[in-house]
Amino acid sequence: MGKYDVIIIGAGLSGLAAGIRLSQFGSRVRIFDMQRYAGGMNSYYRRGERAYDVGLHAVTNYSLERSSPLSLMLRQLRIRRDELELVPQRSSRISFLDADLEFDNDFGTFRDSVARSFPGDQVAFDRFVARIREDDSFNPSLGFESTRAVMREVGLSVELSEMLLCPVMYYGSSWPHDMDFHQYCVLFSSMFLEGLCRPAGGMESLVGVLTKRFLENGGELSLGSAIRSIELSGGRVSGVVDSAGHFHGCDAVLSCAGYPETLDLAHGQHAPEMIGELGFTESLFELSRPVRDFGLADSVVFFNSSSTFSYGVPTEGFELSSFVLCVPGNFPGVRESGRGPAIRMTALASPKYWKGLSKGDYELAKAALLRDELDILESMYPGISKAVIYSEAFTPKTIERYTGRLNGAVYGSPIKIKNGLTDVPGLLICGTDQGFLGIVGSMLSGIVVVNRHLMT
Ligand SMILES: Cc1cc2nc3c(=O)[nH]c(=O)nc-3n(C[C@H](O)[C@H](O)[C@H](O)COP(=O)(O)OP(=O)(O)OC[C@H]3O[C@@H](n4cnc5c(N)ncnc54)[C@H](O)[C@@H]3O)c2cc1C
Q: Which residues contact 328 (CB under 8 A, 6 or more apart)?
A: 53, 56, 198, 202, 334, 336, 341, 342, 344
Nearest to residue 54, comparing CAs of 319, 346, 353? 346
The residue contributing the CA closest to ligand 1 atom 12 is 438
Q: Helix, strand, coil shares of the chain as percentages rounded to 5?
A: 40, 25, 35
The residue contributing the CA closest to ligand 1 atom 18 is 438
Report how far ligand 1's centroid is from the alpha carbon of 72 (Å): 22
Q: DSSP H helical segments within 299-358, as ranges? A: 351-355
Nearest to residue 423, comparing CAs of 226, 207, 274, 209? 274
pTM (predicted TM-score): 0.95
What are the angstrom distances between the C-alpha of 88 and each of 64, 95, 158, 344?
11, 21, 31, 18
pLDDT in tens, the chain (456 residues): 679 999 999 999 999 999 999 999 999 999 999 999 999 999 888 888 788 888 799 999 999 999 999 999 999 999 999 999 999 999 999 999 999 999 999 999 999 999 999 999 999 999 999 999 999 988 888 888 999 999 999 999 999 999 999 999 999 998 899 999 999 999 999 999 999 999 999 999 999 999 999 999 999 999 999 999 999 999 999 999 999 999 999 999 999 999 999 999 999 999 888 998 899 999 999 999 999 999 999 999 999 999 999 999 999 999 999 999 999 999 999 998 888 999 999 999 999 999 999 999 999 999 999 999 999 999 999 999 999 999 999 999 999 998 899 998 888 898 889 999 999 999 999 999 998 889 999 999 999 999 999 986
- Shortest-distance atom of ligand 1 to CA 243: 42
Report how far ligand 1's centroid is from the alpha carbon of 16 (Å): 11
Domains delineated in the chain = 4-84+201-272+415-454 (3.50.50.60), 90-193 (no CATH), 277-403 (no CATH)
Report how far ligand 1's centroid is from the alpha carbon of 90 (Å): 26
SS3 24: coil
Residue 59 DSSP symbol? B
Report how far ligand 1's centroid is from the alpha carbon of 36 (Å): 14
Q: Which residues contact 227 (CB under 8 A, 6 or more apart)?
A: 9, 32, 34, 240, 241, 242, 243, 257, 265
What are the angstrom distances between the C-alpha of 374 and each of 280, 284, 290, 364, 379?
17, 11, 16, 15, 9
At 357, which amino acid appears? L
Report how far ligand 1's centroid is from the alpha carbon of 403 (Å): 7
The residue contributing the CA closest to ligand 1 atom 13 is 438
Return d(Cα 185, Cα 192) in angstroms, integer: 10
Return d(Cα 313, Cα 319) in angstroms, integer: 9
Report how far ligand 1's centroid is from the alpha carbon of 12 (Å): 5
Ligand 1 pocket at CB < 6 A: 9-15, 32-35, 40-42, 54-60, 226-227, 256-257, 261, 282, 399, 403-405, 410, 431-432, 437-439, 442
Which of 439, 444, 449, when mutated, tests ligand 1's pocket best, judged by the most ligand atoms within 8 Å of its CB?
Answer: 439
Q: Are 297 and 89 in contact (CB under 8 A)?
A: no
Nearest to residue 79, comparing CAs of 256, 257, 199? 199
Which of 16, 30, 42, when mutated, tests ligand 1's pocket best, judged by the most ligand atoms within 8 Å of its CB?
Answer: 42
